[in-house]
Structure 1
Amino acid sequence: MKRAVALRHLAFEDLGLLTDVLSAEQYEVSYREAGVDGLCDLRLAPEDLLVVLGGPISACDDRRYPFLIEELRLIEQSLRRDVPVLGICLGAQLLARALGARVYAGSAKEIGFAPVTLTADGRASCLAILEREASPALHWHGDTFDLPAGSHRLASTDITPNQAFGLGARLLGLQFHLEADLSRFERWLIGHTGELAAEGIDVGRLRADGCRHAALLTRSGRAVLGSWIGHLRP
């Protein structure tokens, strides 16, 4: 059975909506917990999938968090083996770094619900659903990255020009969160309470925005992720 292995950095930033999508595509889903579970024994095949999830640390902070080096090695090994890789938020930054691109602090933090602007390549990709549905995305990041060599920019915002990139049909980096299950959004608000307070963000308003957008984001998130996963079929 083909496997989908997710690298998880926070308990509540999990596969979310992706869980059902992967099950429908008959993947055996498992997690490796960052900083706890080793990765040296993990050997993925081209029919498998590596998903690198989000988290509050920097993709370049391997002096304080040495496990990031092991994650980068696994991503690089997966690239050499032609294993599909989906990077989300921190995961997209780690994927960009593994592909030789620079990762650095953005001009400002983006936290909240807002649309992305698709490029021509983005409109020809699985992300086209976001534009057709007039769907926002959940943003929660402070760092950004340069486009990896050979990749295509798929989406942007005014604050973050590189919101999504693709490289071939088997590599996708998303700075924003389409996987988030907003029925469990309260866990995000609790887990990130320090950051929300430091940024002066109104938690009540963010909660209300999550409730208002939940149905649309659930529908569009599943559609986008299902479309990309579906194209991985042999």
Structure 2
Amino acid sequence: MKIHYLQHVAFEKLGSIESWARSHSHPLFATKFYQGDPLPELATIDWLVVMGGPMNIYEEDRYPWLAQEKKFIEQAIKAKKPVIGICLGAQLIADVLGTKVFPNQYREIGWFPIEFTAQAQESPLFNFLPQTLNVFHWHGDTFDLPAGAIPLAQSKACAHQGFIYHEHVIAFQFHLEVLLENVQQLIHHGRNELKAGKYIQTPEEMLVVTEDNFLTIKTAMTGILDRLSA
């Protein structure tokens, strides 16, 4: 199974998605927009993963490749490819599905619990997870629910933490994929965003977590990928 991922900045990487893919011998290919890489032919990929990034989906003047990326994501969804979007990736999916992406009331950065919706808990992709899960966040924007999508989860800071669309598209506003080194990189490159806020943790608070936190989200991410690939 050929997995292609779209990477917007060098420091937002696949994390546990990469280790899952390699453990199943799924080849990985990338379009790294920050290096000027081209997009592939859609017919040559099986899965599409759209990563996060500090830019916003409406900054096409600053990041002209965003327009081309949106068209590619839309084509992949229409072709019924499995598509996973994380943070910015989720917002790009929401945009191409015709709904509004906008600044959330609160920036949400750090470890905060989400609560899965009843509809998500009935989905075969998510029914193995507990109702509440402590996950990692780093976002300022959010989105409305696209038509035809199932709401995934919510947190105290953000009403829409993701959605499932036609059982082959998953949009995560939060980060299940991060490993310790990914969080360290986000902190290093995003310190300018770490201003005092109701739902913004300090670097020390983000890094004081135990290995169990990372193991929990890794188990959740790999379980979802196992079910999506079944």
Work out whether residues 52 and 86 of structure 2, in 8 Å CA contact, stay in contact via their aligned partners in 1. yes
Work out whether residues 146 and 162 of structure 1, in 8 Å CA contact, stay in contact via their aligned partners in 2. yes
Work out whether residues 186 and 207 of structure 1, in 8 Å CA contact, stay in contact via their aligned partners in 2. no
- CA-atom RMSD, angstroms? 2.3
Q: CA deviation at 1:168?
A: 2.2
Which of the residues 221, 227, 232 maps onto 2:228?
232
List per-residue Cα deviations over 1:31-88 (Å, max 9, x = no partner): 211243344443245x711110001111122122111011101101101211110000
SS in 2 for 1:108: strand
TM-score by length of 2: 0.89
2:203 is matched with 206
Q: Distance in 2 between matches of 1:209 and 1:54?
A: 18
Which of the residues 188, 191, 214 maps onto 2:189?
191
Q: Distance in 1 between matches of 2:133 and 2:24?
A: 24
SS in 1 for 2:98: coil
Q: Distance in 2 between matches of 1:5 and 1:55?
A: 17
2:19 is matched with 20
TM-score by length of 1: 0.88
Q: Distance in 2 between matches of 1:64 and 1:93?
A: 17
Work out whether residues 108 and 142 of structure 1, in 8 Å CA contact, stay in contact via their aligned partners in 2. yes
Query: Are residues 1:216 and 2:215 paired?
Result: no
Which of the residues 103, 106, 115 maps onto 1:105?
103
Q: Unaligned regions of 5+ residues in structure 1, if any?
A: none
Alignment of 1:133-144 (within 5 A): 135-144=133-142
Alignment of 1:34-53 (within 5 A): 34-44=33-43, 48-53=46-51
Q: How many residues align?
A: 228
Q: Which amino acid aligns with 2:30?
A: Y
Go from structure 1 to structure 2 and tell me whether the alpha carbon gap of 1:143 and 1:70 turns closer, same or farther (over 3 Å shift).
same
2:114 is matched with 116
2:93 is matched with 95
Q: Unaligned regions of 5+ residues in structure 2, if any?
A: none
Q: Distance in 2 between matches of 1:92 and 1:184?
A: 18
